[in-house]
């Protein structure tokens, strides 16, 4: 019955989305004065990064073995990367006020760091319809919670501070070395930020991590899975949104359709995809005596795929976050706290994750600077093969708007992991410094 | 576990009514848009990647690179107009008229009305007669009938200027020169 209802939902949504516009077209012809406008734009970002870390991780093999072979990508400290996207925006407004359009974001780098595990050339594609009563987005794009969230990560400059690109230059998956330790290295609910241990997993690695030969953002597939989202207008400072993702493994058409049982390692890198995921949030903005206040509560909930066996052994998805930012005279301070009682590990592990962030930023004309801090802990029950693991990162970032669309930036991050290993724990923990410099061009 | 059970029950209830809720939301968005035409366009949240990208601004400034627009209100007011110029008539004809009549002093030039009125001009090599020209540009498109030139002539007689008949060919020649120059300007721009 539920399956049949879900089929009705999705097919009905697709029909209604277009019939909404058609119905009004019958009543009023869309005049040439309000027809669609197609805009082309994009971003080109060139970055140089250098990451220092413990020699155990620097000298590991490409399969994540601490053998000193230096065949992993971490044997060199200096790397360059580009992130280039082209986007097409279609925007129209009917005479009756109905707004409609689409957004198509194409990856120009289709064989490097920022692609999905399947080298998708389209990163985000969605259609939207909006009116005074809200906005609906359907397609492959981020979720409502990620758009509405507030915290230190939302005020950072540079590449994004604690939510930036630091993790691409050092080994923070390192499960193979540190007894399958899983770190939550990015702020955000697991769908957007990745499961502990997921972000930046090597392409050839399994669930236990590994250095691999290519760096893939497998959580990007999950974050931009096909979904339906609804946002309310902002009324008296309050705005809410909700997203429904039927299957986190279905992203555009490149991934194709997936089965009822993706198993515990459906996404590239060996992480589960959840189904029937609800994600949402409430955001409130106001101003009091020249102090701008922004706060948000977000959450998400989803089920593990059901094979008759995996659903009995794999946790679903459950996470919540709260954030608050205050701004005055160019200064902004803020922070957030999140808790994830379930994130797709074995039920027997009884795992949970929580993190908190704190940060500050200052903007003066074209210059922006920030300092942000993240502390996260992943806890497991006694039956887990992985120990409790904690991660800390403090990031200093700065950017300067040199010209319209031209933004050079610098960032330095200091990180430290604690794998929780009891014996020889100091040899499996990692810490280091990451320097990043680059320039972003928007057009 | 208590919280988990509550969330599970709530989620199960929501799932049962997903189709109905979704349809109602969609109908509300579309059906009530008729009441929103006079409302200010609402702002909706962006993904963090877009926010970071937008902080850098755009190389094109506020002028996005439109590859198609059927919105005449948003399109350029006349052919050949630069983005910030306020010219309500064909810009090529306007510039061509000013170029062609640059040897004469201007009395007035109205780019919105498309009217150029010169002052009296006496050729230093031909004393005793002077000319005045009015140019009217009446279309946003570069067309041969979009420019009309009227020429006036005066002859000096006993120290005073008296109106005289001007050959029609003078006005037609000026029109042709303006049109030719306008086409040259358009070709120059299109070849860039």
pLDDT confidence tier of residue B142, bands split at 50, 70 and 90: confident
Residues A104/A123, Cβ–Cβ less than 8 Å: no
A contact residues 147-176, partner B, Cβ 8 Å cutoff = 147-148, 153-154, 160, 163
User: Among A6, A12, A441, whose Cβ lies nearest the Cβ of B23?
Assistant: A12
- Taking an 8 Å cut-off on Cβ atoms, the answer to whether A37 and B74 are in contact is yes
pLDDT of residue A129: 96
pLDDT of residue B143: 84
In a domain, B34, yes or no: yes
Residues A78/A51, Cβ–Cβ less than 8 Å: no
This model of the complex carries an ipTM of 0.81
Residue written as token pair 């929103």:
B36
Residue written as token pair 């065949």:
A71
Q: Give chain B's domain count.
A: 2
- Taking an 8 Å cut-off on Cβ atoms, the answer to whether B70 and A21 are in contact is no
In a domain, B66, yes or no: no
Residue written as token pair 């992985």:
A386
Best-predicted range by mean pLDDT (B34-38, B87-91, B95-99): B95-99
CATH number for the domain including B144?
A: 3.30.530
Cβ-Cβ contacts under 8 Å for B85 (sequence gap 6 or more): B91, B111
Cβ-Cβ contacts under 8 Å for B175 (sequence gap 6 or more): B147, B148, B149
Q: Residue A50: which of A168, A202, A156 has the closest Cα?
A: A168
In a domain, B75, yes or no: no
B contact residues 27-56, partner A, Cβ 8 Å cutoff = 27-39, 41-49, 51-56
Kindly identify which residue of chain B lies nearest to residue A130, measuring between CA atoms. B29
**Neighboring chain A residues of B77 at a CB cutoff of 8 Å:** none
In a domain, B71, yes or no: no
In the DSSP assignment, the letter for residue A202 is B
pLDDT confidence tier of residue B136, bands split at 50, 70 and 90: very high
pLDDT (tens digit, 9 = 90+) per residue, A374-407?
999 988 876 666 678 899 999 999 999 999 899 9
A410, exposed or middle or buried, with CB in 10 Å at 0-12, 13-18, 19+?
middle
Q: Residue A112: which of A46, A161, A62, A184 has the closest Cα?
A: A46
pLDDT of residue B34: 41
Other Cβ atoms less than 10 A from the Cβ of A308: the count is: 8
- Taking an 8 Å cut-off on Cβ atoms, the answer to whether A407 and B55 are in contact is yes
* Interface with A, mutate which of B18, B25, B43 (most A CBs under 10 A): B18
A278 contact B CB<8A: yes
- Taking an 8 Å cut-off on Cβ atoms, the answer to whether A404 and B61 are in contact is yes
- On whether both B109 and B38 belong to a single domain, the answer is no
pLDDT confidence tier of residue A209, bands split at 50, 70 and 90: very low
Greatest alpha-carbon pair distance for chain A in Å reads: 74
- Taking an 8 Å cut-off on Cβ atoms, the answer to whether A132 and B36 are in contact is yes
Q: Is 70 exceeded by the pLDDT of residue A348?
A: yes
pLDDT of residue A392: 95
Q: Is 80 exceeded by the pLDDT of residue B8?
A: no
Q: Nearest CA of chain A to the CA of B135: how many Å?
A: 31
Average pLDDT over chain A reads 81
Backbone angles phi, psi at A283, to 5 degrees: -120, 140
Q: Is 60 exceeded by the pLDDT of residue B166?
A: yes
- On whether both B35 and B97 belong to a single domain, the answer is no
Residues A429/A178, Cβ–Cβ less than 8 Å: yes
- Taking an 8 Å cut-off on Cβ atoms, the answer to whether A16 and B30 are in contact is yes
Torsion of Cα atoms, A105 then A108 then A110 then A112, to 10° = -110
Report in angstroms the alpha-carbon separations of B114 from A105, B87, B171.
43, 8, 17
Taking residues B163-171, report their average pLDDT.
91
Q: Between A267 and B48, where is the model more confident?
A: B48
pLDDT confidence tier of residue A116, bands split at 50, 70 and 90: very low
Distance (Å, rounded) from C-alpha A383 to C-alpha A360? 40
In a domain, B84, yes or no: no
Q: Between B72 and A314, where is the model more confident?
A: A314
In a domain, B78, yes or no: no
Residues A187/A196, Cβ–Cβ less than 8 Å: no
* Interface with B, mutate which of A32, A95, A97, A401 (most B CBs under 10 A): A97
* Interface with A, mutate which of B30, B47, B61 (most A CBs under 10 A): B30
Q: Is 50 exceeded by the pLDDT of residue B36?
A: no
Taking residues A122-142, report their average pLDDT.
93
User: Among A99, A132, A239, whose Cβ lies nearest the Cβ of B45?
Assistant: A239
Q: Is 50 exceeded by the pLDDT of residue A21?
A: no
pLDDT of residue A19: 42
* Interface with A, mutate which of B37, B44, B51, B76 (most A CBs under 10 A): B44
In a domain, B162, yes or no: yes
Q: Is 50 exceeded by the pLDDT of residue A203?
A: no
pLDDT of residue A211: 43
- Taking an 8 Å cut-off on Cβ atoms, the answer to whether A147 and B46 are in contact is yes
- On whether both B106 and B180 belong to a single domain, the answer is yes
**Neighboring chain A residues of B18 at a CB cutoff of 8 Å:** 5-6, 9, 244
Report the relative pairing of strands A78-93 and A99-107 from DSSP bridges.
antiparallel
Q: Is 70 exceeded by the pLDDT of residue A224?
A: yes
Which two tokens mark A276? 């029937």
Other Cβ atoms less than 10 A from the Cβ of B38: the count is: 7
- Taking an 8 Å cut-off on Cβ atoms, the answer to whether A231 and B45 are in contact is yes
Q: Is 60 exceeded by the pLDDT of residue B16?
A: no
Best-predicted range by mean pLDDT (A127-131, A251-255, A262-266, B70-74): A127-131
What is this structure's pTM? 0.70
Q: Between B69 and A136, where is the model more confident?
A: A136
**Neighboring chain A residues of B32 at a CB cutoff of 8 Å:** 131-133
**Neighboring chain B residues of A299 at a CB cutoff of 8 Å:** none
pLDDT (tens digit, 9 = 90+) per residue, A293-326?
999 999 999 988 765 555 567 888 999 999 999 9
**Neighboring chain B residues of A12 at a CB cutoff of 8 Å:** 19, 22-23
- Taking an 8 Å cut-off on Cβ atoms, the answer to whether B67 and A39 are in contact is yes
- Beta-carbon-side half-sphere exposure of residue A278 (alpha carbons within 13 Å): 11
**Neighboring chain A residues of B73 at a CB cutoff of 8 Å:** 33
Residues A370/A155, Cβ–Cβ less than 8 Å: yes
Taking residues B60-75, report their average pLDDT.
61
In a domain, B86, yes or no: no
Q: Is 60 exceeded by the pLDDT of residue A157?
A: yes
Q: A33 in helix, strand or coil?
A: helix
B6 contact A CB<8A: no
- Taking an 8 Å cut-off on Cβ atoms, the answer to whether B56 and A368 are in contact is no
- Extents of the domains making up chain A: 43-87+143-225+256-442
For B28, the domain range is 2-44
């Amino acid at each position: 019955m539920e399956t049949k209802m879900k089929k009705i939902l999705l097919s009905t949504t697709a029909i209604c989305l277009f019939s909404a516009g058609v119905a009004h077209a019958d009543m009023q012809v869309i005049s040439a004065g309000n027809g669609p406008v197609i805009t082309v734009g994009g971003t080109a970002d060139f970055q140089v990064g250098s990451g220092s870390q413990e020699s155990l991780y620097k000298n590991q093999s490409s399969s994540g073995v601490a053998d000193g072979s230096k065949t992993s990508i971490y044997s060199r400290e200096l790397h360059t990367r580009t992130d280039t996207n082209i986007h097409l925006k279609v925007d129209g407004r009917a005479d009756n006020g109905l707004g409609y359009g689409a957004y198509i974001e194409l990856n120009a780098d289709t064989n490097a760091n920022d692609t999905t595990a399947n080298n998708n050339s389209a990163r985000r594609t969605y259609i939207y319809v909006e009116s005074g009563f809200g906005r609906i987005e359907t397609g492959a794009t981020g979720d409502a919670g990620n758009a509405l969230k507030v915290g230190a990560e939302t005020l950072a400059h540079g590449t994004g501070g604690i939510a930036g690109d630091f993790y691409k230059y050092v080994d923070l998956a390192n499960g193979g070395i540190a007894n399958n330790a899983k770190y939550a290295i990015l702020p955000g609910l697991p769908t957007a930020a990745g499961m502990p241990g997921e972000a930046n997993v090597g392409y050839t690695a399994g669930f236990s991590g590994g250095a691999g030969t290519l760096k893939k953002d497998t959580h990007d597939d999950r974050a931009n899975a096909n979904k339906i989202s609804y946002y309310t207008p902002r009324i008296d400072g309050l705005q809410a949104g909700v997203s429904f993702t039927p299957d986190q493994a279905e992203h555009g058409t490149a991934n194709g359709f997936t089965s009822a049982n993706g198993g515990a390692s459906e996404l590239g890198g060996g992480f589960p995809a959840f189904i029937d995921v609800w994600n949402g949030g409430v955001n409130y903005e106001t101003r009091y005596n020249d102090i701008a206040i922004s706060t948000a509560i977000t959450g998400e909930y989803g089920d593990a795929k059901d094979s008759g066996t995996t659903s009995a052994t794999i946790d679903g998805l459950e996470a919540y976050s709260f954030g608050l930012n205050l701004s005055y005279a160019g200064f902004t301070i803020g922070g957030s706290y999140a808790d994830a009682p379930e994130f797709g590990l074995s039920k027997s592990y009884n795992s949970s994750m929580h993190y908190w962030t704190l940060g500050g930023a200052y903007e003066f004309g074209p210059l922006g600077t920030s300092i942000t801090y993240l502390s996260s802990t992943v806890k497991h029950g006694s039956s887990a093969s992985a120990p409790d693991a904690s991660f800390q990162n403090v990031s200093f970032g700065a950017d300067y708007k040199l010209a319209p669309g031209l933004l050079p930036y610098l960032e330095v991050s200091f990180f430290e992991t604690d794998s929780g290993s009891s014996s020889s724990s100091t040899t499996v923990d990692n810490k280091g410094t990451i320097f990043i410099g680059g320039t972003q061009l928007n057009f | 576990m208590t919280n988990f059970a509550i969330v599970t029950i709530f989620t199960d209830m929501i799932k049962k009514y997903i189709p109905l809720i979704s349809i109602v939301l969609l109908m509300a968005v579309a059906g009530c848009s008729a009441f929103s035409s006079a409302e200010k366009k609402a702002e909706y949240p962006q993904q963090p990647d877009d926010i970071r990208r937008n902080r850098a601004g755009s190389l094109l400034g506020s002028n996005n690179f439109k590859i198609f627009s059927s919105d005449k209100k948003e399109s350029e007011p006349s052919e050949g107009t630069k983005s910030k110029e306020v010219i309500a008539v064909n810009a090529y004809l306007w510039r061509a008229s000013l170029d062609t009549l640059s040897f004469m002093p201007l009395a007035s030039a109205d780019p919105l009305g498309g009217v150029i009125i010169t002052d009296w001009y006496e050729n230093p090599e031909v004393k005793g007669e002077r000319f005045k020209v009015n140019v009217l540009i009446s279309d946003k498109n570069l067309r041969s009938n979009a420019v009309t030139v009227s020429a006036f002539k005066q002859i000096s007689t006993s120290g005073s200027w008296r109106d005289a008949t001007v050959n029609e060919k003078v006005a037609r020649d000026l029109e042709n020169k303006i049109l030719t120059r306008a086409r040259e300007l358009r070709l120059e721009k299109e070849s860039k």
